[in-house]
Amino acid sequence: MSRRPRRNHSSAFKAKVALATVRGDKTIAEVARQYEVHRNQVTEWRKQLLERAAEPFGATPGAPPPVDFKALQAKIGELALEIDFLSGALGKAGLLSEKQ
């Protein structure tokens, strides 16, 4: 049995094949036979389509929100000042042990 040469499919073709499976009027095997692509490849393209379907609408599933380092550093500085102030106040009141 001879092997078929490796083919590179366009994004549009992959989307067309994946959408054909999502519609539900044909099975994955039927879609694979129609477009002459292996069933496993069709399944993979379908999975990718379903995972990334929200991306055009601004949602990026699984991606954490961006971190604002300046805000975090400002908060750390603020908390450090509060700790220094409170430890000084507790020390003057005699409530803070000298071990800390």
| Sequence ranges of the domains in the chain | 8-62, 66-100
pLDDT grade for 58, boundaries at 50, 70 and 90: confident
pTM above 0.75, yes or no: no
DSSP 8-state class, residue 12: H
The per-residue pLDDT for 31 is 94
- Average pLDDT value for the chain: 87
Q: Which amino acid is at 8?
A: N
Give the CA radius of gyration of the chain.
29
CA 49 – CA 36 distance, rounded (Å):
19
Say if CB 49 and CB 22 are below 8 A apart.
yes
H or E stretch covering 11:
helix 11-23
CA 35 – CA 17 distance, rounded (Å):
7
